[in-house]
Amino acid sequence: MESVDQLARKAFGLQPTERVRLVEAILYSLDKPDADIEQSWIAESEARYEAYKRGELEAIDWDEIKRRYER
């Protein structure tokens, strides 16, 4: 198998549009969601929404959140 340096040198020889396509393909291969994490986020968001509907959680206005974290 070729080393990363060898592959990079080959990639530099590609046309710019082909290099972009290569980068996109590599990034896409890394952007696979973890099913367990996805299920955890779904469960958490549903639990928070149910708590909100029961009156156990209070909604905060988006403008207030932005003000809290402005630098």
Cβ neighbours of 2 (radius 10 Å): 9
Domain containing 43: what range?
A: 35-69
Q: Do 41 and 64 lie in a common domain?
A: yes
- pLDDT the model gives residue 9: 94
d(CA 69, CA 51): 25
Q: Do 40 and 65 lie in a common domain?
A: yes
Structurally, the chain folds into a number of domains equal to 2
Q: Do 26 and 1 lie in a common domain?
A: yes
Q: Do 47 and 63 lie in a common domain?
A: yes
pTM across the whole model: 0.49
- pLDDT the model gives residue 55: 96
Determine the length of the chain.
Answer: 71
Q: Do 21 and 44 lie in a common domain?
A: no
Residues 6+ apart with CB under 8 A from 12: 19
Of 1 and 36, more confident? 36
Q: Do 26 and 51 lie in a common domain?
A: no
Q: pLDDT digits over 18-59, tens only?
A: 999 999 999 988 888 888 999 999 999 999 999 999 999 999
* DSSP 3-state of 19: helix
Q: Do 28 and 3 lie in a common domain?
A: yes
